[in-house]
């Protein structure tokens, strides 16, 4: 008992020197999370099988790294206050599970909450931050999603700062994902605390809708997209805006999944899959592992894309990339098809944030169609003219010609 109190005292006194672990998320994190598909129905077998599927499906090779267990993995705290996993759901324990994940070249993430209880009613970390951080480090955890349920009376910045300090004091580099839902504008203060922060409430597997749960709402893909307005200046390497986990493969159409994934790539959003990796269609795998789309998301500049124009439900988005390249995405939010009629030389686009200009009169670009996976010419042609189906995208990579 004296040893425990001594350790906690040492960890607590180190907080004046604490910081976040820098350099863990130089590009948006890529991985999987259990919540969207399985909610509280998580167990050891599911996590084993999901890790196996991440490797066999090609997702690991595409860049997906984290296997994140969301709410409801928790058992009880012991007499000293240390949390343990549910013994029926995770009989081998978290250390053994982390060893299994690490042996596959992947990393393991867990979930906790800043309040007394998690959103699913399990033990939260309030008052136990340093003990929980010590336990995560002991188990070999690599990623922590930290939620905001049951936090009455807490200051958001202070609560997340406490857990940041606890993680740092525990000594194991852990990606810190702050799931505060954007209520307290974490983009204003989160850069020095976490590696990513939620900008909205929960997503749902709907392209364009709102689901009202009475005391809270979940949001469709387009609603989440709209909530990113005005936030791009806050994101970048090691500090990312997080518009929530993806719903690709969870029931929307292939067009909608493709549009969803494309916009998350344009936003430089974390690519955290939320589907059942063990039972994916070929179309879902092709969307999640498209190398050009992932490269747009993982671009080292870390610049969030922006909406250039919108007319009759057809939006044009742009994202500056390294080596003076650009991503150009046409998004059709309507159900009916829309015509793309984009005259290259009539559009000179300046981005005040990145200080970059896309001038088709001065420079020529090779056009790569990301989803068709082929080159379709250069921007020296007069106009890009085609029809775009409803709830779909045309995602282009523009590579500057030397």
* CA atoms lying within 13 Å on the CB side of residue 5: 2
For the chain, the maximum distance between any two Cα atoms, rounded to a whole number of angstroms, is 77
Nearest to residue 25, comparing CAs of 290, 242, 253, 280?
242
At residue 12, the pLDDT reads: 52
Same fold for the domain at 2-297 and the one at 306-400? no
Strands (E), 43-161: 66-68, 74-77, 83-85, 107-113, 143-147
Question: Can you give the pTM of this predicted structure?
Answer: 0.95
Per-domain residue ranges of the chain: 2-297, 306-400
Question: Measured at the alpha carbon of residue 285, what is the angle toward residues 35 and 339, in degrees to the nearest 5?
Answer: 100
In the annotation, is 202 catalytic? yes
Q: Choosing from 202, 238, 257, 276, which is the catalytic residue?
A: 202
Beta-carbon contacts of 103 under 8 Å, excluding residues fewer than 6 positions away, are none
Average pLDDT, the chain: 95
Q: Choosing from 147, 165, 257, 299, which is the catalytic residue?
A: 147
Q: Distances in Å between the alpha carbon of 244 and those of 76, 79, 220, 270, 274? A: 28, 36, 11, 8, 10
At residue 16, the pLDDT reads: 55
For domain 2-297, the CATH class is alpha beta
For domain 306-400, the CATH class is mainly beta
At residue 382, the pLDDT reads: 83
Is the predicted pLDDT of residue 61 greater than 90, yes or no?
yes
Q: Give the separation between CA 143 and CA 145, rounded to whole angstroms.
A: 7
Q: Distances in Å between the alpha carbon of 301 and those of 27, 60, 335? A: 9, 22, 34
At residue 7, the pLDDT reads: 52
Is the predicted pLDDT of residue 1 greater than 90, yes or no?
no
For 303-349, what is each residue's pLDDT tens digit?
A: 999 999 999 999 999 999 999 999 999 999 999 999 999 999 999 99
In the annotation, is 52 catalytic? no
Is the predicted pLDDT of residue 113 greater than 70, yes or no?
yes
At residue 381, the pLDDT reads: 80
N-to-C CA span, the chain: 68
Is the predicted pLDDT of residue 195 greater than 70, yes or no?
yes
Strands (E), 154-276: 175-178, 196-198, 210-212, 217-219, 240-242, 271-273
């Amino acid at each position: 008992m004296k040893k425990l109190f001594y350790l906690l005292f040492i960890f607590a006194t180190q907080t004046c020197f604490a910081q976040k672990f820098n350099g863990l998320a130089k590009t948006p994190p890529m991985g999987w999370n259990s919540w969207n598909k399985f909610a509280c129905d998580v167990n050891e077998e599911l996590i084993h099988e999901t890790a196996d599927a991440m490797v066999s499906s090609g997702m690991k090779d595409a860049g997906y790294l984290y296997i994140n267990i969301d709410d409801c993995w928790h058992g009880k705290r012991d007499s000293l206050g240390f949390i343990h996993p549910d013994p029926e759901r995770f009989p081998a324990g978290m250390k053994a599970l982390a060893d299994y994940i690490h042996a596959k070249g992947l990393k393991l993430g867990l979930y906790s909450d800043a309040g007394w209880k998690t959103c699913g009613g399990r033990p939260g970390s309030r008052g136990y931050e340093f003990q929980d951080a010590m336990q995560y480090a002991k188990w070999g955890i690599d990623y922590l999603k930290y939620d905001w349920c049951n936090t009455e009376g807490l200051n958001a910045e202070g609560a997340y700062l406490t857990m940041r300090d606890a993680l740092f004091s525990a000594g194991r580099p852990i990606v810190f994902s702050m799931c505060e839902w954007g209520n307290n504008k974490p983009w204003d203060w989160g850069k020095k605390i976490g590696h990513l922060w939620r900008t909205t409430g929960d997503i749902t597997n709907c392209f364009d809708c709102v689901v009202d749960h009475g005391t809270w709402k979940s949001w469709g893909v387009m609603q989440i997209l709209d909530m990113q307005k005005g936030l791009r200046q806050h994101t970048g390497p090691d500090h990312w805006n997080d518009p929530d986990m993806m719903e690709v493969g969870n029931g929307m159409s292939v067009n909608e999944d493709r549009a969803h994934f494309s916009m998350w790539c344009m936003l430089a959003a974390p690519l955290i899959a939320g589907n059942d990796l063990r039972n994916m269609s070929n179309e879902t795998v092709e969307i999640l592992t498209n190398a050009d789309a992932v490269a747009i998301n993982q671009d080292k500049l870390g610049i969030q894309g922006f909406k250039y124009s919108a007319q009759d439900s057809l939006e044009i988005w742009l994202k500056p990339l390294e080596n003076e390249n650009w991503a150009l995405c046409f998004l059709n939010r309507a159900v009916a098809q829309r015509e793309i009629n984009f005259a290259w030389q009539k559009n000179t686009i300046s981005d005040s944030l990145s200080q970059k200009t896309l001038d088709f009169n001065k420079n020529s670009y090779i056009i790569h169609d990301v989803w068709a996976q082929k080159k379709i010419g250069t921007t020296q042609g007069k106009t890009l003219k085609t029809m775009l189906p409803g709830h779909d995208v045309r995602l282009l990579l523009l590579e500057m010609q030397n």
